Amino acid sequence: MSSSQYTLTAQELDILSSKAIAAKAMAYCPYSKFRVGACILTQSGEYIVGANVENASYPVGTCAERVAFGSAVVAGHHDFKAVAIATDTDPPASPCGMCRQFMNEFTAPSFPVYMYGSGRNYTLKTMRELLPDSFGPDDFGGEKVPSP
């Protein structure tokens, strides 16, 4: 990880991972029983969590990462420092394709994604590694309406 804007202190990583792991308890996953928790650290120092929320109509369910990033964005955050994602599986699961694209909207190629399984060990990957050759806001030819 080269960019200092994405360098976490040991304390930040400890809080981030603890909140992602704790967020698994909030998952609504009666169908898959596969709990996923997520936590984002904003550049302003806030922690925003999410968990997967399933639905009786299966495709309607939402992943933890999109719940977390959606919550962060509607809370007014667009600048993020890191995300942690926690599952109960070893090795840790990594984000689905739809979540990679969703996160790509708000993150740079060197943005760090920390993935936790059942313990405190993690796998660390950048967005560039998870979604190479991505299509993002800079590739969008149309005019973007400014955010409020």
Q: Is 65 a catalytic residue?
A: yes
The residues, ordered by sequence, that sit 6+ positions from 137 with a Cβ below 8 Å of its Cβ are 105, 144
Report the 10 Å Cβ neighbour count for 63: 21
Q: What are the strands of the beta sheet with 112-116, ordered from one edge?
A: 47-51, 37-42, 80-86, 112-116, 122-126
Query: How do beta strands 47-51 and 37-42 pair?
Result: antiparallel
Contact pick of 26, 29, 73, 108 for ligand THU (by CB under 6 A) = 29
Looking at the Cβ atoms of 61 and 109, the one nearer to ligand THU is 61
Smallest gap, in angstroms, from Cβ of residue 145 to ligand THU?
Answer: 28
Smallest gap, in angstroms, from Cβ of residue 60 to ligand THU?
Answer: 11
Looking at the Cβ atoms of 1 and 96, the one nearer to ligand THU is 96
Q: Which stretch binds ligand THU (CB under 6 A): 4-12, 63-71, 112-120, 127-135?
A: 63-71
Query: How do beta strands 47-51 and 80-86 pair?
Result: unpaired
Q: Is 54 annotated as a binding residue?
A: yes
Looking at the Cβ atoms of 35 and 81, the one nearer to ligand THU is 35
CA distance 29 to 133: 32
Q: Please, how many CA atoms are within 13 Å of residue 56, restricted to the half-sphere of its CB?
A: 0
Contacts to ligand THU from residues 74-113, by CB under 6 A: 95-96, 99
Q: Which stretch binds ligand THU (CB under 6 A): 8-16, 26-34, 74-82, 133-141?
A: 26-34
Residues that bind ligand THU (CB under 6 A): 29, 32, 34, 36, 52, 54, 61, 63-65, 95-96, 99
